[in-house]
């Protein structure tokens, strides 16, 4: 009887150990490139783990993030060079360098999921720049990237939209353009306890309101997530 109890205790502790959360190491990669034509600052994460299988999975998302950032940067530089060439042909001078700032927010990073929001602010002349958002959600175990249809039960869109309206923080009543919905959401991210809906500037309200992020608790989304 004592042997059976001892073995059961060992098994219980083994199961707890197996379920232990594996936090990922997050390294920040930062680059700058300043010329007379552009001023570029890039910051994005790279994930790693001491667990072999998790480390292998990290390689895939690291490549995806690097490719995304490099693609944004290359497109920006191409536009900047074209604009500068147009100014030269008109015998005009560039007032100042064009600007690109790429930043990120890591919402989740463990052996289960990685969720990152990449923002890219571009100023290519004019009075105001524009910020683009990219939500990256990754299942570490299956090595699959998740889009909105993989995360949300779109058949329950009306229920999700009602929650978005409920959890929108807008004490100044600034966001008067559109109601937040899954259809006009710019980027989607996950945390262990919430779903984060990001809306770019000018979607919910005037530019002065800025971008908006709505956090909806997962406990309120039972039946609304896949």
> The sheet that has 194-199: what strands, in order across it?
187-190, 194-199, 212-217
The pair of three-digit structure tokens given for residue 79, joined into one six-digit string = 């536009």
Residue 20 pLDDT level (bands cut at 50, 70, 90): low
Cα–Cα distances in angstroms (integers) from residue 47 to residues 25, 92, 116, 194, 195, in the given order: 6, 45, 11, 21, 21
Q: Express each pLDDT in 185-216 by its tens digit.
A: 999 999 999 999 999 999 999 988 999 999 99
Q: Answer whether residue 70 shows pLDDT above 60.
A: yes
Q: Answer whether residue 101 shows pLDDT above 60.
A: yes
Q: Is 91 left (phi over 0), alpha (psi -120 to 50) or beta?
A: left
Cα–Cα distances in angstroms (integers) from residue 124 to residues 9, 119, 161, in the given order: 64, 16, 35
The pair of three-digit structure tokens given for residue 6, joined into one six-digit string = 């001892």
pLDDT-wise least confident of 16-25, 59-68, 133-142, 171-180: 16-25
* Residue-by-residue DSSP string for 61-74: HHHHHHHHHHHHHH
Q: Answer whether residue 11 shows pLDDT above 80.
A: no
> Does CATH number 3.30.565.40 belong to domain 22-146?
yes
Q: Answer whether residue 29 shows pLDDT above 90.
A: yes
| Domain residue limits, the chain | 22-146, 147-226
147-226: CATH topology = Actin; Chain A, domain 4 (3.90.640)
Residue 4 pLDDT level (bands cut at 50, 70, 90): very low
Beta-strand runs (E) in 10-168: 25-34, 38-48, 98-109, 113-123, 130-139, 144-145
pLDDT (mean) for 91-120 = 96
To the nearest whole percent, how much of the chain has pLDDT over 90? 84
Mean of the per-residue pLDDT values for the chain?
A: 91
pTM above 0.95, yes or no: no
Q: Please work out, in degrees rounded to the nearest 5, the angle formed at the alpha carbon of residue 133 by the alpha carbons of 222 and 83.
A: 165
């Amino acid at each position: 009887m004592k042997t059976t109890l001892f073995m059961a205790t060992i098994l219980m502790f083994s199961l707890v150990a197996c379920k232990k959360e594996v936090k990922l190491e997050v390294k920040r990669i930062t680059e700058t490139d300043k010329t007379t034509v552009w001023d570029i600052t890039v910051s994005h994460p790279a994930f790693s783990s001491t667990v072999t299988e998790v480390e292998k999975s990290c390689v895939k998302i690291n490549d995806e993030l690097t490719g995304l950032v490099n693609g944004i940067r290359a497109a920006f530089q191409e536009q900047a060079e074209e604009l500068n060439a147009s100014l030269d042909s008109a015998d005009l001078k560039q007032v100042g360098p064009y600007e690109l700032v790429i930043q990120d927010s890591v919402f989740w990073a463990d052996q289960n999921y990685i969720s990152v929001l990449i923002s890219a602010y571009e100023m290519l002349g004019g009075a105001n720049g524009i910020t683009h958002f990219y939500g990256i959600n990754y299942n570490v175990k299956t090595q699959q990237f998740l889009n909105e249809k993989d995360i949300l039960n779109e058949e329950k869109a009306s229920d999700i939209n009602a929650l978005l309206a409920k959890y929108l923080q807008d004490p100044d009543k600034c966001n008067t353009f559109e109601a937040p919905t899954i259809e006009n959401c710019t980027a989607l991210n996950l945390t262990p306890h919430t779903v984060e809906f990001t809306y770019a500037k000018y979607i919910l309200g005037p530019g002065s309101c800025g971008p908006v992020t709505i956090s909806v608790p997962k406990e309120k989304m039972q039946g609304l997530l896949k």
